[in-house]
Amino acid sequence: MAKIQIINGPNLNMLGVREPSVYGSRTFDDYLAELRQHYPEVQIDYYQSNHEGDLVDCIQSCGFDADGIVLNAGAYTHTSVALCDALRSVSAPAVEVHISNVHTREDFRHHSYISAACRGVICGFGLDSYRLAIEALLAAQ
Ligand code: DQA
């Protein structure tokens, strides 16, 4: 059974409430249940934290065991060398995901510290960005 680890960073626990015009009005738990139904043959593990070091710990602990990591690092995308280094430290391929199209937003969202450590990047497709990332990881297996 393929094992995919989804990791959400800061403020992504607020999906459904947070800026619905940007991120939609659905909670991640609701979406995750649908995603798991869509991939009954895949073990989809989920972790969310608002703390950078906890995200590093999660990458380190799943990164040799999972077949792929789907990472939405939220605002840490644009600031975190530590997450870049963590991704480079493990063997599992990662896909960077964003719900919004960060390139149509403020300039500070245009740069990512983690893209270079990822297999690819998917952004701008709403929550469906996560499914697209799983598809890409399964296709690359
Ligand atoms: C985000 C985009 C980031 O710029 C922002 O800080 C987030 C969410 C997205 O999914 O669109 O928290 O990663």
pLDDT one-digit tens code per residue, 27-40: 999 999 999 999 99
Closest CA to 97 of 30, 2, 5: 5
Closest CA to 31 of 43, 47, 15, 11: 15
Distance between CA atoms of residues 35 and 43, nearest Å: 11
Rounded distance from Cα 43 to ligand 1 centre (Å): 25
Residue 113 confidence (pLDDT): 98
Model pTM? 0.97
- The ligand 1 site (C-beta within 6 Å) comprises 11, 72, 74-75, 77, 98-100, 102, 109
Amino acid at 17: V
Rounded distance from Cα 141 to ligand 1 centre (Å): 27
Structure tokens at 73: 């690092």
Closest CA to 6 of 117, 115, 100, 33: 33
Residue 115 confidence (pLDDT): 98
The catalytic site residues sit at 23, 98
Residue 141 confidence (pLDDT): 80
Rounded distance from Cα 20 to ligand 1 centre (Å): 13
Residue 69 confidence (pLDDT): 98
- Helix residue ranges per DSSP H, 24-141: 28-38, 52-62, 81-89, 128-139
All residue ranges of the chain with pLDDT < 50 are none
